[in-house]
Amino acid sequence: GDSVTQMEGPVTLSEEAFLTINCTYTATGYPSLFWYVQYPGEGLQLLLKATKADDKGSNKGFEATYRKETTSFHLEKGSVQVSDSAVYFCAPPKGTLDNAGNMLTFGGGTRLMVKP
Amino acid sequence: ETGVTQTPRHLVMGMTNKKSLKCEQHLGHNAMYWYKQSAKKPLELMFVYSLEERVENNSVPSRFSPECPNSSHLFLHLHTLQPEDSALYLCASSLGAGGKNIQYFGAGTRLSVL
């Protein structure tokens, strides 16, 4: 079945450091892929998306490229800021199941903490 | 402001109480979702409604009872909850229930069960 694996956190970086959060998926076909972000005290919001292979989503300095050959959609940012501290979710294809057979709609989330 | 409003923002209840969480969206969407987010588990999908019909019930205990009276409103009725049900409950909506649709989230209701 379809599945997604997201890098576990927390990730702690200094301001202006380079960020990579890994996300890989397995799916039949080529679904749309998303990254969502959850700032403290808020719900999730879309950060970026890609709808087909080789698409690059970008927003607020973050980028992710939908790589069919490696089935990956890693999130990157060249220079993080303290305000980027949040939890980042890689959203897998709909219908993804976890090991217990339950519907999994989002990856486990990666907490990012950026220190001044 | 995401266009999805959840009330109340905070709720404290005893195990014998009955309460309801409310979600309202003004985005013209026709799919709505309830999620549970706790410190120990990743975001868990609880229920999905599409065109006011429940299309997903993800093995949620019967002490959680959803209701979708129209495409703009979603409720989660709570009764005889357990302390382990303490969590952040998030509501979301999307234009359709398919995987290509972006979900818009409310800020959540922080529930504490004593």
CB B3 within 8 A of CB B59: no
- Give A67's DSSP letter: B
3-state secondary structure A13-28: EECCCCEEECEEEECC
pLDDT of residue A19: 97
Across residues A90-95, what is the average pLDDT?
66
Q: What is the pLDDT of residues B48-75, one digit of tens each?
A: 888 877 777 667 899 999 999 999 999 9
CB within 8 Å: B58 and A41: no
Q: What is the pLDDT of residues B9-50, one digit of tens each?
A: 999 999 888 999 999 999 999 999 999 999 877 788 888 888
CB within 8 Å: B42 and A107: yes
CB A92 within 8 A of CB A103: no
**Minimum-distance CB partner of A103 among B45, B92, B107:** B45
Amino acid residing at A72: S
Query: CA nearest B104 in A: which residue?
Result: A45
Across residues B74-82, what is the average pLDDT?
95
Neighbours of A101 (CB within 10 A): 9
CB within 8 Å: B90 and A43: yes
* 3-state secondary structure at position A107: coil
